[in-house]
């Protein structure tokens, strides 16, 4: 019986960890792509948002998965994962509005930082936020493949999903 409780506890912890993800969606002139990092979690299992405590999320670039080995490798190369293995998302400010929450987040990657205003909604104890960003915000030239036949567009859609306690 103890083994059953232990197993159930482990499954619960794994399920909570998978609730958190950062997803980057983009497009090329021929297709779309999606790269996801769901291998991070808060120390307490859920992220806390209060005046005194705001999350600072550290993501390993090599933990992003684009669903295709070659695309994942290209994505990691674009973000120069060997020189800059981590990307951070730091919550600077967090306020409640009538229907949602507004946050100022600082995204730091490849030694470049950019602040964004992001609107979050709470759905099933998860903070869900979306923000349109650009490769060029971080001085990254969108890549071209196959001699320029495939061109990645500058625009990206960033989606946050964080298990939370508000």
Q: What's the pLDDT tens digit per position in 82-117? A: 999 999 999 999 999 988 999 999 999 999 999 999
Specify the pTM. 0.83
pLDDT tens digit sequence for 20-68: 999 999 999 999 999 999 999 988 888 988 778 899 999 999 999 999 9
Three-state DSSP class for residue 26: strand
Per the DSSP assignment, residues forming a β-bridge with 75 are none
45 within 8 A of 163, measured Cβ to Cβ: yes
Q: pLDDT by residue (tens digit) across 127-165?
A: 999 999 999 999 999 888 888 788 999 999 999 999 987
Q: What is the pLDDT of residue 4?
A: 34
How many Å apart are CA 143 and CA 71, to the nearest integer?
12
For residues 156 and 133, the answer to whether their CB atoms sit within 8 Å is: yes
Q: What is the pLDDT of residues 2-26, one digit of tens each?
A: 333 333 333 333 333 448 999 999 9
Q: Strand 150-165 and strand 47-48: pairing?
A: parallel
């Amino acid at each position: 019986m103890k083994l059953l409780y232990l197993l159930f506890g482990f499954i619960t912890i794994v399920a909570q960890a998978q609730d958190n993800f950062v997803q980057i969606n983009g497009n090329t002139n021929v297709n779309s792509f999606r790269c996801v990092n769901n291998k991070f979690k808060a120390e307490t299992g859920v992220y806390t948002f209060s005046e005194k405590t705001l999350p600072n999320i550290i993501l390993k670039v090599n933990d992003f998965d684009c669903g295709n080995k070659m695309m994942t490798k290209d994505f990691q190369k674009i973000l120069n994962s060997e020189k800059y293995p981590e990307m951070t998302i730091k919550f600077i400010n967090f306020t409640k509005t009538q229907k949602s929450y507004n946050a100022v987040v600082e995204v730091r990657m490849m030694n470049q930082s950019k602040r964004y205003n992001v609107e979050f909604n709470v759905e099933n104890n998860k903070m869900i936020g979306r923000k349109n960003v650009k490769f060029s915000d971080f001085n990254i030239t969108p890549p071209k493949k196959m001699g320029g036949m495939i061109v990645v567009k500058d625009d990206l859609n960033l989606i946050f999903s964080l298990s939370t306690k508000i």
